[in-house]
Amino acid sequence: GKDDIITFDELCEIYGFGRREAIRYLNTKGCPVLPRSKGQPYKVVKSEFDEWLKGKDDNKKKTMRLLFAALNL
């Protein structure tokens, strides 16, 4: 369902992330990772992570567009 909570391993599997890449995303400011105690596994709500990832991607595209515009490419 839309509010599925997925584990770190599922995250890697669904999005095709390597473990290091997944950890980098999960530690990014603003990532909707669920609160956890130290040493507990990472978990995210899939729909929230999807939205966040899409927003990150859009921002990256916007930045590239501005950069190209500035360089007149």
pTM of the entire structure? Answer: 0.78
Q: Are 6 and 43 in contact (CB under 8 A)?
A: yes
67 vs 45, higher pLDDT: 45
pLDDT value of residue 32: 95
For the chain, what is the HEC assignment?
Answer: CCCCEEEHHHHHHHHCCCHHHHHHHHCCCCCCECCCCCCCCCEEEHHHHHHHHHHHHHHHHHHHHHHHHHHCC
